Structure 1
Amino acid sequence: MIEDISVRYLDRFSKKPLNDPVFIEGLPGIGQVGKLVAEYMIHVLGAEKIAEINSLYFPPQVMLDETGTVRLARNELYLYQSEKRDLVFLVGDHQSASGEGHYILADCYCDLA
């Protein structure tokens, strides 16, 4: 049976304690503003991708990546660590397709933060 939500941490990520972290969510929405800003910050800061999140609550769609390969829709976590405080970014392809899914995914994201 497929899990409702699957979080896969990348092998290179070591789960060390975070330093006064801030969680920044940039998922698609009206005007894509949050998504674009979060992706820009990830790029400028050089944040490292630490996890991929798949869920049955995402719309039943696939995405085409830069190489032309089809993949399931997913969201991703990125981490930027600094001396002052760490930043954890949530970006991705979709928000939930249902009201119930929004609550369940939000609960998962809070647990991850």
Structure 2
Amino acid sequence: MPWTQRLWVYDLLTNKHFTLKQNPLRRADLDDFVAAYRPGNRDKREASERWKSFSYNEIIARDKANLDITWLRDESLEDLDNLPSPDVLAREIVEDLAAALAEFEAVAAALEERLSSNA
């Protein structure tokens, strides 16, 4: 017998397209999830467009019981003719990678500083 009867899944990403610079994830983007989660009243959870539960049997019936669960249609995949040009996409990727590298550099510098001050 499984420990849980239902697995609740929230789809935050479909049709949201978060990026580090132009559309970063903000606390307000999580408000719907926080309202739906109801940690103290799990029995009062209600499914919505992005919040859905799956039974144990539904999950084990999936191919290899994987948890790569999607049910929303990604609108960006329907309109492939309106994708940005490759140079725009490449520039966005470079900007995202540069921002991520800067974040990692800041973490590495903070760790080095912490280690040197403890020595």
Instruction: Tell me which interval the TM-score lies in, with the shorter structure as reference length.
Output: under 0.3
Give the greater-gyration-radius structure (CA): 2
* TM-score normalised over the length of structure 2: 0.21
